[in-house]
Structure 1
Amino acid sequence: MTLSRISMPKSDDEPTPNSTEILSRLALDQLITKTLDARLKEENPLLVLIAVKSPSWARALREQLTRRYPQTCVRSYKGDKRSASSQEEDHLLLALNDGQSGIGVSTDIVAQVPEALRNSADFTLYFAGLSPVSLRKAIGLVTGQPVRRLPKLRLDGLDLADLAAAIRPGSTPAQCIKRLQLTLERKASDLGVPDDAVPVSALPLSPEVRAWSEEVLTSLRLLEEGKISMRRSPFSVLAGPTGSGKSKLAEAIAKAAGWQLIQTSAQDWFDRSDGFLGGVARQTNSFFQSLENNPKTIGFVDEIEAIPDRATMDERNREWWTTIVTGILVQVDRLRRSPTPALLIGATNYPERVDSALLRHGRLGRLVRVEPPRDLAAITDIFRYYLKEDLRDDELLRLVHMSMAFGHPTPASVENWVGAARVAAMAAGRSLTLLDLETAIGGTDDRPHAERYRVAIHEAGHAVIAAHLDVPISSVSIIGQPGSAGSMLAEIRTTDLDRHSLEHLVTVALAGRAADQILLGLSDAAATSDLKLATRLLFNAHFVWGLYDHLTAIEGDTKGPLVLDPEARGVIDAKLQELLVRAQSLVGEHRESIERLADALLRARVISGTAVRDLVLKSRVWGPAPRERAKP
C-alpha cells in the first residue's frame, strides 16, 4: 500500500490550501533558513528586512510570516508613501523595544523603508523568485502527483499570479508545466523584438548615434556579465523629429544585444486605463515591474514629452501631474537600484517639453540627437539600405535629389516610398524600376503644360542666380507639394552669414519673382513665400543679428515690429527694392541659362545642384531627356 496515494479526510476547521497558499508557503521556506527560523523564535529580538520583486509576493509573504511567527511584528511598505513608512517605523521600533522581533517586507527597501531601519537591520533578504526545487514541490502538492521531469523554465519572468493560474488542483503535473511554458511564450511575444528588426551594424546612422549605440551595446554586455551595476546602465532619451528612426534604433539595439524589448508610450498608459490618476499610476507601475521581472530587457517609452515639465504648467494641472511624474521618478530610481539587468530609453520629438527632473543625470540623463540626414551621402546610404542592389548608382543619385525636393527626407519617409514602389511593381508583375520610385516620391503631374512651364521658369530663376552668386544648392524641382508648386533647396546656415552673403541669399529669394517679371511678363501672388523669406532675412540682419547699422536686438515674432514701426518697415522695404533690381539685372544677364534649365525641369522634374552649376558655367551640355519624362 502506497501512503502518498491515500486521500486523508480533513476536518472542517482545516481548509484545503490553494495554489497561492502553497506557492507562498514554499517561497517562505526557500527564503528563511533553518538557522534564521530558530532565531526568530527565540526571545532575543531581531530586525529582518525582505525585498521582493512584486506587490503580490509582498502581500503573500506578509501573510505567511504573520502566521508562522505570530509573536513577531510583521509590516509591509507600499509605494512611495513615506508618511506610512514613518508610522510603521514606530511600530517596528516599539516591537524591538518591547523585546519582540520585527520583519519588514518591501518591493524597494531603499525607497520605501526608513533609513533608521535599513541601517539597523540584522538581516536583509532578497527574494528573486521561486526556485526550480520549490516549483517542483508546489506542482506535486497542488496536483497530488509526483513531478517526474521539470524542464528548464525562466522563472524570473513569472509573478505569483502567473504561477497560481498555471498550477491548478485537478490537473496533472504535465498540464501545469505546459501552462507555464505557454505563459512564458506569450509573455515573450509581448517582449519580443519585431521580426524585421535588424542589428545596429546594418543601420545607416550618423557618427554620433553610431558611437552611442556601440557604447550602449558594450554596457549591456557588461551588465549581463555583472561587471557593472544598474547605476551605470546607459539610460537615455532619443530626440528627433517624427520618422527619424528612434524606435527602429531601439529595436536594432535589442536585436544586436539579444535582449528583449518592451515598447510603450505615455499615451498607452492612459489608453489602457480608465484615465484617472490611480489607473494611469497602475499602468506605469506595471511597465517598470515588467522590466524588473524580465532580466535583459530594454524598456522603450515613446513620446515621452507627454510626461510634461511641471514647471511650465498652471497650478491645477501641476497638482494632478505631480503625482504621476513623482511616481515615474521613483520607479526610475528604483530600476537604477535593481539587480536585474535592464535599459530604459525614452524618445521624444520635443525634448524641451520633458520634465527636467526626468532628464537629470542619474535618471534619463543622456540626450541623444537622432536627426534626419543632412547631406547627400547620408541620404544616399538610407536609400541604398532599403533598396539593396535594385538601382544603379546614377539612378540612385537621381532618386536622392528628387527626395530632397521635399527637404531632408527621414528614414521613415524613405522606407514608405520604397515600400509603395515595390507594391506598385509587384502589382504590375515586374521588377522595381526608377519610374516606380519617382512616382512614389513625386506622384504624377497632371498640371497643364503652361502652368508647369511657369513654375519651371520661376524655380530656374532661383537656381541659376544661386549658382551665379555661389550660393550652394542641393537641388531644384517643379514637384508640387502642399503650399508650394516647386522648390529649390539651398545648403546654407544662417549662422554662417555676413552682410555680403546675406544679400546674396535675399537676391536668390527674389530671383524667382524677377524671372516671372522678365521672362513671363507677370508677377502674381504665387511667390508670397519668397517675399516672406526675404523680409524675414533682412529683418533679422538689421534687428537681430546686427549685420547692419542697428545694434538693437529684437526678440520674438518679426511681424509686430514691422507693422508697428514705420522706420523699420521703410528700411526693410528699401533694401528689398534694391535687391529686387539686382535680381532683375542678373536674370536678364542669365536669361538663356534660366530658359535651358526650365526646359530640363519640364523633362526631369528635379535637377541636382551640381548639374545647375555645370549649366551656368557652360561646362556641360544637357544630354537627352529620360525616356519616361521626354514629353511635358
Structure 2
Amino acid sequence: MTDDDRPDDSDDDDSRNDVVAPCPSDGRKKRLKTSARRELIDLIVGQAVGASLMRRLKTLTGRPLVVSVKAPGADWCKPLVGAFLRTNAMAILRDGSTKGDNAEKGNDVVSEALSEGKHVVGVSHLPEALLPATLTRAADARVEAKHPDGKIIRRLISMCVGRPPKNIPEDIVAGLSFDDIVSAFRRGATPSQVVAALAAASSAKCRVSVEDSTPPLDRMPGYARELREWAFALAEDVDAWRRHEREWRSISSSVVLAGPPGTGKSLFARSLAATLKVPMIATSVAQWFGTTAGYLDSVIKAADAAFEGARAAARNGGTGCLLLLDELDAIPNRNNVDDRHAAWWTTLTTGLLLRLDSATSDREGVILVGATNHVENLDPALIRPGRFDKIQVVGFPDSVGLAEIISFHMDGAMSPADVLPLARTQAGSTGAEAAQWAKDALRRARTAGRNVCFDDLVAAITSGAEMSPGDRRVTAIHEAGHAVVGVVVGRRIEAVSILSKGSTAGATSMRRAGSCFLPMDDIEKEVTVLLAGRAAEMVVLGRASGSAESDIREATSLVAAAHGSFGLGDDLLYRGSREKATELITFDPAFRRLVSEHLGRLMDATLDIVRRDRAAVEAIADALVERGYVEGDDAERIVKGAAPIIEKGDTR
C-alpha cells in the first residue's frame, strides 16, 4: 500500500492538524445520541454495499473479494474509506488530489494484497479513471454510494437527535458535501433545527445566480442570430429530455462561449438559463482558489463541489441545471506549463477533464457552459467532443443590436428606432459599453430633473473624450473624405461620426464587398477608401495630420499582400502570408519599391476624387462639426447632390 493510497480514518477527529485545543463543555447542552459522521457513512455504505457483502469483507475466510465503490463526490471518498477500514479489507482511496491518482498506479499493490488473501476495496468518485486498473478489471462487485436522500436524512436524524419532523423534502441535502451535512447535527440541536440548517445550507450551495430580471433570449437584445438559433435548438432538446422523449447522451449539452471582453458571455449564459428554465450555478478557477487555502486537494474539492452542486440541482425535479465555468482560460494549456508547475497543474487539469468527460462522469441534466476571452489558449483536451462539444463566438453586436441594447437598458424610454442613427456611428462597440451609455444617459436626465433625451445619450458616449474645436474640424474633414470616396467607389455608407470614444476620434461605417476573395480592382478600391481621410486633409486643409496611421498601415498591408500573397501583381511568386509579405517590405528593397509605387498611384487617384468632390467633403464635414454624426443615407445624398469643384484646366 503506497502513501498515495493510505487514507486517514475519517472518524479520528483528534488527528486533525488544525485543532489547537479541545473546547471545554459547559455541561448544559446534551450531546448527540451517536456520531452523525459515523452513522451517515454507515447508512450510505449499508445502502450501497448491503449487509451480506459487508459481512464477507469483515472475515478472511474464503476467496478474497475485490470491490469498486463509486463515491457521490471527491469529498465523500475519505469518509467512505473509513467505513471499510473497520473491515478486514485493504482500502484504496483515490479522490484525484495527487498526481498518483490514476489507473496506472497501484496495480502491484492490488495484486500483492490478493495473493496474500486480503480483500481489496477501492473508493473513488471516478473509479474507472482513478482507481488502479487491476482493481476495476478484477472487481467482484461494483457499487455506487448514492448521495443521501430524504429517507436517509430522516433515519440519521432519528438515530442522532430524535424523532424527525414529517414531510422532509427528498432533496433536503441537494448539493451538500459530507461535512456540510454533518455540520448541521450540532450538539443541542433539535430535529427541526437540523432540518432548517440542512435546508438553508442546501439553498446557499445550489443558489441560482440568475437574476430575476434576466430575460430569456427571445427578449434579450444584442446577440447574433446564429447564437440564438443554437440556444433555441438546445431548449427544444432539453424539453424533449424532460418529456422522456430523448436521452441526455444524445444532446449536445456543452459549449464554450468565446469572444472579447464586454461582449456579454456571462449575460448570455444567464439568459440561456432563463430560456431553458433551469437554475444556474457559476464558478471559476479564481473562485476555487479564493474560497480555499489554495492547496491542490482543497482546490480540487472546490471544483468538485461545483459539479456536485450542479448535479444535485439538475436532479431536483428533473429539470436540469446550467453550470457556468467562467474565465475558462485560467486553466492553463498543459503543453505550455513550465516544468516547475507541471505536476500541480496537470493533476488539477486532468481531474477537471475527467469531471467534464461525459463518458466517465454522470452529467445527465447538466448543461456545461464555459466562457473565455482567449479560446486560443485553452488546453486542446478541454474542447474535444464529449467535454465541450462546441465553440460559439460571442462577437460585437451590429448597429441594430447596439440600438436594441441601448433601448433595453433605458427601460423603453427611447425605442431602438430612436437610437439607431447613433448606434450606427459606434460600430465595434461592445454590449457592455452600450448598456453603460444608456445608464449614464438616464443618470444625466435624473440629475437635471427631466425625461431622458437624445442629447443625453450623445453626451454619455462622448463623456471624457471631448475634442478641441481644431481637432474636431480635422477629424470631421478626415471622416468626410472616407465617406465621399466610399460612395464614389460603390460602398454603402451606414454612418459617419466624430463622436469620439476612447482612443478613436471618429469613424465611418460602410458595407464592404461581400466576398473574402477580392480581385485587384476591389483591393484598390478598398485602399482608395483607406487613403481618403489623409487625402481630404491634404486637399481641404492644405496639410496632412498624423491621424491616418491605422489607415496607412492597413493600406500598405493590403497592397503588399496583393503582390506577395494573393498572386495579383506582375508575377505569381508567393512570398508568404499577408503578415510575412508586410514584413518583407522592411528587408526587400525591390519589394518595398513595388508596394510604395502602387500606393503612390492609388493616392494620386484618391486625391483626384477628393478634389473633384471637395464640396461634398466640406458639406459632410460641416454637418459633423455641428451635430457629431451624419447618417449614411444623408451622406450619400450629399455626395450625389453636391456640385463638383471644377478646377482650372479641368476639361470634363
Q: TM-score, normalised by structure 2?
A: 0.83
Pair 587,275 (structure 1): closer, same or farther in 2 beyond 3 Å? same
**C-alpha distance in 1 between matches for 2:218 and 2:466:** 42
Partner of 1:268: 287
Residue of structure 2 aligned with 1:139, choices 122, 134, 157 = 157
Residue of structure 1 aligned with 2:265, choices 219, 241, 246 = 246
Assess if the C-alpha contact under 8 Å between 2:494 and 2:509 holds in 1: yes
1:292, CA displacement in angstroms? 3.9
Identity in percent: 28
Partner of 2:482: 462
Give SS of 1:357's match. helix
Give yes or no for the alignment of 1:425 onto 2:425.
no
**C-alpha distance in 2 between matches for 1:599 and 1:606:** 10
Give SS of 1:368's match. strand
Assess if the C-alpha contact under 8 Å between 2:484 and 2:613 holds in 1: yes
**C-alpha distance in 2 between matches for 1:16 and 1:488:** 77
Partner of 1:525: 546
Residue of structure 2 aligned with 1:255, choices 252, 261, 274 = 274
Give yes or no for the alignment of 1:194 onto 2:215.
no
Partner of 1:554: 576
Residue of structure 1 aligned with 2:45, choices 18, 28, 32 = 28
Partner of 1:581: 604
Within a 5 Å distance, the mapping from 1:72-471 to structure 2 comes to 72-79=89-96, 80-90=101-111, 93-94=114-115, 98=117, 102-143=120-161, 145-154=162-171, 155-189=173-207, 191-204=208-221, 205-224=223-242, 227-230=246-249, 232-274=251-293, 277-278=296-297, 280-295=299-314, 296-312=320-336, 315-316=339-340, 318=342, 320-333=344-357, 337-338=361-362, 340-374=364-398, 376-387=399-410, 389-392=412-415, 394-404=417-427, 408-443=428-463, 446-471=466-491
Within a 5 Å distance, the mapping from 1:10-49 to structure 2 comes to 17-34=34-51, 36=53, 44-45=62-63, 46-49=65-68
1:37, CA displacement in angstroms? 5.2
45-54 vs 204-213, greater mean Cα deviation: 45-54
**C-alpha distance in 1 between matches for 2:490 and 2:274:** 46
Pair 61,352 (structure 1): closer, same or farther in 2 beyond 3 Å? closer
Residue of structure 2 aligned with 1:59, choices 52, 58, 78 = 78
Partner of 1:510: 531
1:63, CA displacement in angstroms? 2.5
Residues 264-312 of structure 1 deviation map (CA, whole Å, 9 limit, x = unaligned):
2333344445556555444434433433444333221222222233334
Pair 35,61 (structure 1): closer, same or farther in 2 beyond 3 Å? same
Q: Which amino acid aligns with 2:354?
A: V
Q: Which amino acid aligns with 1:509?
A: L
Q: TM-score, normalised by structure 1?
A: 0.85
Pair 251,335 (structure 1): closer, same or farther in 2 beyond 3 Å? farther
Assess if the C-alpha contact under 8 Å between 1:220 and 1:233 holds in 2: no
Structure 1: any 5+ residue segments left out of the alignment?
A: 1-14, 621-632
Pair 600,164 (structure 1): closer, same or farther in 2 beyond 3 Å? same
Assess if the C-alpha contact under 8 Å between 1:223 and 1:230 holds in 2: no
**C-alpha distance in 2 between matches for 1:487 and 1:206:** 23
1:354, CA displacement in angstroms? 0.9
1:240, CA displacement in angstroms? 1.4
Residues 125-147 of structure 1 deviation map (CA, whole Å, 9 limit, x = unaligned):
2222223233222212222x322
1:117, CA displacement in angstroms? 4.0
Equivalent pairs counted in the alignment come to 595
Assess if the C-alpha contact under 8 Å between 1:476 and 1:609 holds in 2: yes
**C-alpha distance in 1 between matches for 2:58 and 2:108:** 25
Partner of 1:563: 586
Residues 154-209 of structure 1 deviation map (CA, whole Å, 9 limit, x = unaligned):
233222212211122322111111211221222233x4322332212222332221
**C-alpha distance in 2 between matches for 1:399 and 1:474:** 11
Q: Which amino acid aligns with 1:57?
A: W
**C-alpha distance in 1 between matches for 2:342 and 2:77:** 32
Assess if the C-alpha contact under 8 Å between 1:543 and 1:550 holds in 2: no
Larger fraction in helix: 1
Give SS of 1:572's match. helix
Residues 326-374 of structure 1 deviation map (CA, whole Å, 9 limit, x = unaligned):
2322222278531653122211222221111111122113111222234
**C-alpha distance in 1 between matches for 2:434 and 2:529:** 29
Give SS of 2:380's match. coil
Q: Which amino acid aligns with 1:519?
A: V
Pair 64,486 (structure 1): closer, same or farther in 2 beyond 3 Å? closer
1:597, CA displacement in angstroms? 1.0
Q: Which amino acid aligns with 1:147?
A: P
Assess if the C-alpha contact under 8 Å between 2:175 and 2:305 holds in 1: no
**C-alpha distance in 1 between matches for 2:278 and 2:108:** 41
**C-alpha distance in 2 between matches for 1:513 and 1:334:** 57
Assess if the C-alpha contact under 8 Å between 1:31 and 1:125 holds in 2: yes
Assess if the C-alpha contact under 8 Å between 1:473 and 1:609 holds in 2: yes
Residues 539-595 of structure 1 deviation map (CA, whole Å, 9 limit, x = unaligned):
122212222114323233556422222212212222222222222221121111111
Residues 409-450 of structure 1 deviation map (CA, whole Å, 9 limit, x = unaligned):
222221121122122222222222111111112237754434
Residue of structure 1 aligned with 2:69, choices 50, 54, 57 = 50
Give SS of 2:383's match. coil
308-317 vs 539-548, greater mean Cα deviation: 308-317
Partner of 2:28: none
Partner of 1:540: 561
Give SS of 2:267's match. helix
**C-alpha distance in 2 between matches for 1:181 and 1:151:** 10
Residue of structure 2 aligned with 1:488, choices 505, 508, 532 = 508
Give SS of 1:475's match. strand
Pair 613,413 (structure 1): closer, same or farther in 2 beyond 3 Å? same
34-43 vs 533-542, greater mean Cα deviation: 34-43
Partner of 1:472: 492
Give SS of 2:67's match. strand
1:216, CA displacement in angstroms? 2.5
**C-alpha distance in 1 between matches for 2:560 and 2:185:** 74
Give SS of 1:495's match. coil
Residues 74-125 of structure 1 deviation map (CA, whole Å, 9 limit, x = unaligned):
4444323335441453256336xx3x65543321222123455445544332
**C-alpha distance in 2 between matches for 1:279 and 1:103:** 24
Pair 128,192 (structure 1): closer, same or farther in 2 beyond 3 Å? farther
1:384, CA displacement in angstroms? 4.1
Partner of 2:15: none
Give SS of 2:174's match. helix
**C-alpha distance in 2 between matches for 1:116 and 1:231:** 31
Assess if the C-alpha contact under 8 Å between 2:69 and 2:124 holds in 1: yes
576-585 vs 442-451, greater mean Cα deviation: 442-451
Q: Which amino acid aligns with 1:254?
A: A
Residues 252-271 of structure 1 deviation map (CA, whole Å, 9 limit, x = unaligned):
12222232222223333444
**C-alpha distance in 1 between matches for 2:591 and 2:508:** 29
**C-alpha distance in 2 between matches for 1:394 and 1:332:** 44
Partner of 1:601: 624
Assess if the C-alpha contact under 8 Å between 2:561 and 2:582 holds in 1: no
Q: Over the residues paired in the alignment, what is the CA RMSD in angstroms? A: 3.0
Residue of structure 2 aligned with 1:612, choices 632, 635, 648 = 635
Assess if the C-alpha contact under 8 Å between 1:244 and 1:410 holds in 2: yes
Q: Which amino acid aligns with 2:608?
A: S
Residues 479-524 of structure 1 deviation map (CA, whole Å, 9 limit, x = unaligned):
2344443222333268242211222222222222222222222233
**C-alpha distance in 1 between matches for 2:76 and 2:550:** 64
Assess if the C-alpha contact under 8 Å between 1:262 and 1:299 holds in 2: yes
Partner of 1:8: none
